[in-house]
Structure 1
Amino acid sequence: MVVGIDVHKRSHAAALLDGNGVVLAALTIPNSLVGVERLLGWLNEHDAREAAIGIENAAGYGRLLCAALAAAGCEILNVPAWRTHRDRHEQGRGKSDPGDAVAIAHVVLRKREQLGPALEPELIRALALLEGLRRQSVYDRTQAIQRLRAIWTQVDPEGEARVIHCQRQRELRKLTRIAFGAGIAEQAAARCIRELAREIERLNDRIAALEHELEQLLRECGNPFADLAGAGATVAVALIAHSGDVRRFKDKGAYARFCGVAPIRCGSGRTADHHRLDRGGNRQLNAALHRIAVVQARVDPRAQAFLARKRAEGKTAREARRALKRHLANVVYRRLHAWAEIALPA
């Protein structure tokens, strides 16, 4: 028997299937510890305590549920949303949470060996949370800078043009004391710029503190990319946080597909050897590999030789860089796999 659970912010829907895919029972529980107790009791009633449980969005709203079920000794598997598309279409028009739970259970029944654990290690979770907050803070700072410049340009375009890096501390100190004139609109603009400058200062402090904490965590757990050109602390954290435990991938090719750097076949007949760019995959991992590739193209002789060889084969500069990213995915996979054997629980 297998169980599929469709998780949401307030409630979860569960479906129990037998080995032939027949629905035996369904249940809806609240997203709380009380709901988890109800689910465990429901599994016991149907002699399904040993059933494999598939959860969609396990790292989001299903986090509490995953932790509680893992503590109870259940086998919890992560079901990516894209894997359930076929089963949802087979159900016809319309959508319901119990129907989604059945689709998730069907995926567990067919693809059990290809699914990874739903509950990521605590170290990966900690790095992912801190990395996500840092990335959001950087985005918020960029937005605040753009708003500040937009307002400043309306009042004093020449003064705004003279400042290149308004996020630096010296410029921010000046902006927190800026004044334009006695007009109501000028006073309002100055007030907005002063508030935005203070907001940028707060975000600078938060980003610096988060980067310090992430670097400390890297030192404690060991940085698998310490000697990899182009992979600074920020890039290393992104690679670890978004890759998770790479032992769940069957091979380096599956990891490259997850990163969105493996080319996709798109030919037929006389064009059977044609490939196209994969615009899917994890875009944060793709961006991290891109940054490494760009840096190595400037400073690493091995990467430069690799790119030159690809150019000699007739590839464009962009296609050669994509090939380098595909190669780097293999390098990252091997390093993360070796690191996981030491730093993460089996």
Structure 2
Amino acid sequence: MTNGQFKVIAGIDTHADTHHVALITDYGKHLGDRKFLAVGSGYREIAAYLTSFGPVTAVGVEGTGSYGAELARVLAEHGFSIREVNRPNRAERRLRGKSDPLDAYQAAESVLADRGTSTPKARDGYVEALRVLRTARTSAMKARTALLNQISGVLTSAPDEVRAKYRGMTSEARVKAMVVSRPSGDPADPVVATLMTLKRMGARHRFLSEEIDETDAALAAIVSTYAPELLDVNGVGTVVASQLLVTFGDNPERMVSEGAFAALAGVAPVPASSGKTRRHRLSRGGDRQANSSLYRIVVVRMSTDARTRAYVAKRTEDGLSKKDIIRCLKRYVAREIFHVMQNPRPAPLTNDLRTLRLELGLTQVIVAAALGTWPATISRIEHGKSRDREAIARYRTWVEEQSHESN
């Protein structure tokens, strides 16, 4: 059989040091497999090996978000169609065994059968930068929370003269007092040792807080530059927006429908019917960080958005529990987020509002009182820092009415 009579499908089992490549035909026949080093030269050798038997229709790669990330990027640059392949389930592995060649062949067969495959994230744009920054932020947040718990633990068992010094303070005030303290004396004295430990913990807390603030500023700059329309959504801030962007990836077109995004975020009900019983159950899968972000949006809306509060009241009268109502709202929010990501709208212009206000001789306090809001909100709108379309529209309508009346 000549190369022109069949097409080739590849499967790659990725590891930290080596990658194993297996090739099959488009009707399932095994062509061969080889092991390559997981380095730049190895990636180039893999690209050459893939086409040694004929044209390649698709390449299934395990772990495109970890060991196979760089390999997927290199192969995509060479024009190969990359498919992310889930690892084989345990039952199948018990039946067929486990080895690098077997896993590579199974990856290729999954692509052939279109089973357990998806389009991998591109990881070559600003979303990848957000992902890396969020990794640092998450680590710092966990470390700071653990540190606060340690401080509480040290104070709980500390001598009374140490506990009295920090009694009644908030966490923030207590940390500041620890940083500026000047413990002195014999470190063998438990009181001195406790005060020295608390000072060091306070300094570490301040360092972590500064790291989080710097990371938040970097996240805000990226999100406001590349996805300002996402910040227009009620309840979405910088941290939530950055997570949703990471979930979509640098190639959001891979999300073919809002149902697919809902399933990815773990808010799509899963069929659980049997016989005459027709029902659905809550999805426990998907990206739990995205699910958490949707939950935060819902919680914000339940306390600030009039339409959401009316919906909650109606569904409560229907007999739904708060948990069930939140589940419904998360599904609705997922639909809204998907359409915003697929159909971005430009942010409303606000750079002329301050000029209009000053021409009328009005202060921010007067405008805020007329609109029933805070002067700080007016300031944020004028400086382009607010994404609240409704508030911006109300401000513009009011100031234009004042301008017409003065004329």
* Partner SS for 2:230: coil
* Partner SS for 1:314: coil
Distance in 2 between residues matched to 1:152 and 1:288, nearest whole Å = 34
Shift of 1:301: 1.3
Distance in 1 between residues matched to 2:226 and 2:132, nearest whole Å = 16
Shift of 1:291: 0.3
Identity %: 27
Q: Cα 1:27–1:75, aligned 2, differ >3 Å: closer, same or farther?
A: same
Shift of 1:47: 2.6
Provide, for residues 98-140 of structure 1, a one-character-per-residue CA deviation record: whole Å limited to 9, x for no partner.
2222222122112289621452341211111112221221111
User: Which residue of 217, 222, 227 corresponds with 2:222?
Assistant: 217
Distance in 2 between residues matched to 1:149 and 1:185, nearest whole Å = 17
Runs of 4+ in 1 over 6 A off after TM superposition: none
Distance in 2 between residues matched to 1:210 and 1:16, nearest whole Å = 44
Indicate the residue corresponding to 1:54 in structure 2: 60
User: Which residue of 4, 8, 15 corresponds with 1:8?
Assistant: 15
User: Which residue of 77, 89, 93 corresponds with 2:92?
Assistant: 89
Q: Cα 1:299–1:34, aligned 2, differ >3 Å: closer, same or farther?
A: same
* Partner SS for 1:51: strand
* Partner SS for 1:104: helix
One-letter amino acid of the structure 1 residue matched with residue 263 of structure 2: R
One-letter amino acid of the structure 2 residue matched with residue 232 of structure 1: G
* Partner SS for 2:190: helix
Q: In the alignment, is the contact (CA less than 8 A) between 1:3 and 1:54 conserved in 2?
A: yes
Indicate the residue corresponding to 1:344 in structure 2: none
Indicate the structure (1 or 2) with the bigger Cα radius of gyration: 2
Q: RMSD across aligned C-alpha pairs, in angstroms?
A: 2.4
Distance in 2 between residues matched to 1:193 and 1:270, nearest whole Å = 64
Structure 2 residue 71 is the aligned partner of structure 1 residue 65: yes
Distance in 1 between residues matched to 2:272 and 2:73, nearest whole Å = 41
Shift of 1:161: 5.1
TM, length-normalised to structure 2: 0.75
Q: In the alignment, is the contact (CA less than 8 A) between 1:307 and 1:324 conserved in 2?
A: no
Structure 2 residue 316 is the aligned partner of structure 1 residue 300: no
Indicate the residue corresponding to 2:114 in structure 1: 111
Distance in 1 between residues matched to 2:157 and 2:184, nearest whole Å = 11
Q: How does 1:310-321 map to 2 (within 5 A)?
A: 310-321=315-326
Q: Cα 1:77–1:159, aligned 2, differ >3 Å: closer, same or farther?
A: farther
Distance in 1 between residues matched to 2:168 and 2:119, nearest whole Å = 53
Q: In the alignment, is the contact (CA less than 8 A) between 1:128 and 1:242 conserved in 2?
A: no
User: Which residue of 16, 26, 30 corresponds with 1:23?
Assistant: 30
Distance in 2 between residues matched to 1:300 and 1:118, nearest whole Å = 34
TM, length-normalised to structure 1: 0.87
Q: Cα 1:174–1:106, aligned 2, differ >3 Å: closer, same or farther?
A: same
Distance in 2 between residues matched to 1:79 and 1:302, nearest whole Å = 42
Q: In the alignment, is the contact (CA less than 8 A) between 2:255 and 2:261 conserved in 1?
A: yes
* Partner SS for 1:95: coil
Distance in 1 between residues matched to 2:115 and 2:280, nearest whole Å = 29
Indicate the residue corresponding to 2:202 in structure 1: 197
Distance in 1 between residues matched to 2:34 and 2:166, nearest whole Å = 60
Distance in 2 between residues matched to 1:78 and 1:289, nearest whole Å = 25
Q: In the alignment, is the contact (CA less than 8 A) between 1:306 and 1:324 conserved in 2?
A: no
Structure 2 residue 266 is the aligned partner of structure 1 residue 263: no
In structure 2, runs of 5+ residues without a counterpart are 1-7, 346-407
Distance in 2 between residues matched to 1:178 and 1:171, nearest whole Å = 14
> RCO higher in 1 or 2 (8 Å CA, sep ≥ 6)?
1
Q: Cα 1:304–1:93, aligned 2, differ >3 Å: closer, same or farther?
A: same
Q: Cα 1:276–1:259, aligned 2, differ >3 Å: closer, same or farther?
A: same
Distance in 1 between residues matched to 2:11 and 2:343, nearest whole Å = 32
Aligned length: 332
Distance in 2 between residues matched to 1:285 and 1:58, nearest whole Å = 19
Q: In the alignment, is the contact (CA less than 8 A) between 2:84 and 2:117 conserved in 1?
A: no
Q: In the alignment, is the contact (CA less than 8 A) between 2:86 and 2:117 conserved in 1?
A: no
Bigger mean CA offset, 212-221 vs 56-65: 56-65
* Partner SS for 2:231: coil
Q: In the alignment, is the contact (CA less than 8 A) between 1:239 and 1:285 conserved in 2?
A: yes
Q: In the alignment, is the contact (CA less than 8 A) between 2:11 and 2:61 conserved in 1?
A: yes
One-letter amino acid of the structure 2 residue matched with residue 51 of structure 1: T
One-letter amino acid of the structure 1 residue matched with residue 26 of structure 2: G
Q: In the alignment, is the contact (CA less than 8 A) between 2:110 and 2:117 conserved in 1?
A: no
Bigger mean CA offset, 137-146 vs 317-326: 137-146
Indicate the residue corresponding to 2:382 in structure 1: none
Distance in 2 between residues matched to 1:256 and 1:188, nearest whole Å = 53
One-letter amino acid of the structure 2 residue matched with residue 68 of structure 1: V
Distance in 2 between residues matched to 1:127 and 1:74, nearest whole Å = 26
* Partner SS for 2:89: helix
One-letter amino acid of the structure 1 residue matched with residue 40 of structure 2: L
Provide, for residues 29-59 of structure 1, a one-character-per-residue CA deviation record: whole Å limited to 9, x for no partner.
12110111221221232234x3311112212
One-letter amino acid of the structure 2 residue matched with residue 309 of structure 1: K
Distance in 2 between residues matched to 1:54 and 1:185, nearest whole Å = 61
Q: How does 1:77-156 map to 2 (within 5 A)?
A: 77-81=83-87, 84-85=88-89, 89=92, 92=95, 94-111=97-114, 115-155=118-158, 156=162
